[in-house]
Amino acid sequence: MPRAAQRRLHVLRRPKLRQSWSKYNLYNIWRQRDPKIGFTDHETFFQQKWRAKGLLRAYHGEHIKERDWERMFSRRLLSVANMNPRYMAENDGSEMAAGRGSGQDIVQRWKADKVDPKTITPYMNMAFAPMERRLDIAIFRALFASSARQARHFVVHGKVKVNGKVMPYPAYKLNPGDMFQVDPDAVLFATGQPKKKGGSNARQATKAPQDNAEAEPAAAEAEGAEAEAAEASEVPEQDPETTDKPEAPPADMKPTRQAIQKLTKQAKSILARDRDVSTSQKQNLRSFLKKAKPLLSRAGRPAATPTDILSELNSMVKDLNLSDASAEAAATPAAAAAPTESSTAVTRREPPRSIDDLNADELKALHRLINEEEENPADPAKPYHTPWKPRDYMSAFAFIPRYLEVNQNVCSAVYLRHPVARVGSAEVPTPFGYQVNQLAFNWYLRRR
């Protein structure tokens, strides 16, 4: 049977807003307009409530079954009144009990030309407030995951703790004062840029554009060191119970490997001189560097012989066809066979500058780079891109509700209290207006 098609969560033709940091979802939120439900007589009251419920359920917990949400639904709409602390300190509340005619009531301006409307408290925006108590939704609100589904994945796989204990249930309802913590590696994976296709960062560096000479394989020296360790561990020993002579030890390939490494460094230094090297010479040098890495790997094998490696190295050097003196010096077979002081200096390099020669601005820049490397090092073993960088389109969703206290340094947060409505605002994040929330609340408010 054909494999079932994967469900598309982000559709641009008939968009539904989701709890996700996807760029398609961000585009749908940007072009979202007021659905104008209830402004015409073309729909019945039932149809209006049905449409409003569908829009809100697609955003608030679309991964949760409808019957589970109906059990969570509460008729209570929590709210608070904004009280001025200075007013409360100066008055004891008796003036609020004064009746008419006492002179302390507020005089209405009945003859005023323009009366400012009072700011309402959006109670209906609290329709999905019980959903904010769920552990997976709270993790998404705390910016520890890029979507509610990913937060659920973290919980199910044991990467989340509540009050110090692993909590594998994403439907766990938080109580005021509960602290939840997410594995830092999971948070960095969720909020960081993904690793590019093709493997680790080290492999990506080798696939960088060839114009960058420093991006050429720096792992040649590491492979040489591994080959030396392998040789040291494979030295044959004399059997004390027999008189047979041990096998002849392998040939010493260390000078040959050193010669290949030096020629590689010389080729990269020549590539760095853009003014003195032509385009064809650059192509030849890049081809030489591309062939030098597998040759160095072959030189570390036990069956390798210096004669075969040197003959192939000489043919590679002859194919360079460089006309300058540095190429002639590098092309001598003696430089590869027995590297001497005369063959090491292929190009003249400027002497390295010491720290004492740097000025104040250069020292500050150096310290800044060192600190950045220590705080955010490159690690190819990580499942996300290193050095870590925030993922694209994250800033548009960087919002933390007031009922959460988040510490990004340790990837933990505290659920302070249940979300409430205030005069002019509600604490439940939602992209829809007051009337849509009101119709959805009335849908679930019906008696069955």
Q: Over the stretch 399-413, which tens digit does the pLDDT of each residue have?
A: 999 999 999 999 999
pLDDT band at 241 (very low <50, low <70, confident <90, very high): very low
| Sequence-separated contacts (24+) of 249-252 with Cβ below 8 Å | 250/302, 251/304, 251/305, 251/306, 252/306
Residues 436, 56 contacting (CB under 8 angstroms)? yes
Distance from C-alpha of 131 to C-alpha of 151, rounded to nearest angstrom: 14
Closest to 232 (Cα-Cα) out of 211, 253, 201, 259 = 253
- b (16+ CB within 10 A) / e for 35-48: eebbeeeeeeeeeb
Give 244-306 as a DSSP string.
Answer: PPPPPPPP--HHHHHHHHHHHHHHHHHHH-TTTS-HHHHHHHHHHHHHHHHHHHHHTSTT--H
pLDDT in tens, 293-340: 787 777 777 667 777 777 777 777 777 765 543 444 444 444 444 444
CB count, 10 Å around CB of 275? 4
- Which is higher by pLDDT, 226 or 179? 179
Q: Is residue 74 helix, strand or coil?
A: coil
Distance from C-alpha of 184 to C-alpha of 60, rounded to nearest angstrom: 26
Determine the average pLDDT of the residues in 40-57: 91
Closest to 260 (Cα-Cα) out of 304, 312, 301, 208 = 312
Residue 34's alpha-carbon distances to 27, 86, 242, in angstroms, are 15, 40, 92
Residues 392, 23 contacting (CB under 8 angstroms)? yes
pLDDT in tens, 142-161: 999 999 999 999 999 999 99
Which are the contacts of 239, defined by CB distance < 8 A and separation ≥ 6?
Answer: 246
Distance from C-alpha of 414 to C-alpha of 403, rounded to nearest angstrom: 9
73 exposure class (CB count in 10 Å sphere: 0-12, 13-18, 19+): middle
Q: Minimum mean pLDDT among 146-160, 343-357, 382-396: which range?
A: 343-357
Q: Minimum mean pLDDT among 6-10, 42-46, 346-350: which range?
A: 346-350
Which residues share a beta bridge with 181?
Answer: 161, 412
pLDDT of residue 351: 62
pLDDT of residue 411: 95
pLDDT of residue 240: 44
pLDDT of residue 221: 45
Helix, strand and coil in the chain, % to nearest 5: 45, 5, 50
Distance from C-alpha of 382 to C-alpha of 132, rounded to nearest angstrom: 31
DSSP structure class, residue 107:
P
CB count, 10 Å around CB of 149? 17
Residue 413 tokens read as 């947060």
pLDDT band at 45 (very low <50, low <70, confident <90, very high): very high
Percent of the chain with pLDDT over 90: 37
Percent of the chain with pLDDT over 70: 71
Residues 49, 90 contacting (CB under 8 angstroms)? no
Residue 439 pLDDT greater than 60, yes or no: yes
pLDDT band at 365 (very low <50, low <70, confident <90, very high): confident
Estimate to the nearest angstrom the gap between the alpha carbon of 192 and the chain centroid: 1
Question: Phi and psi of 39, rounded to 5°?
Answer: -90, -10
Q: Give the largest CA-CA distance in the chain.
A: 124
Half-sphere exposure of 248 (CA within 13 A, CB side): 4
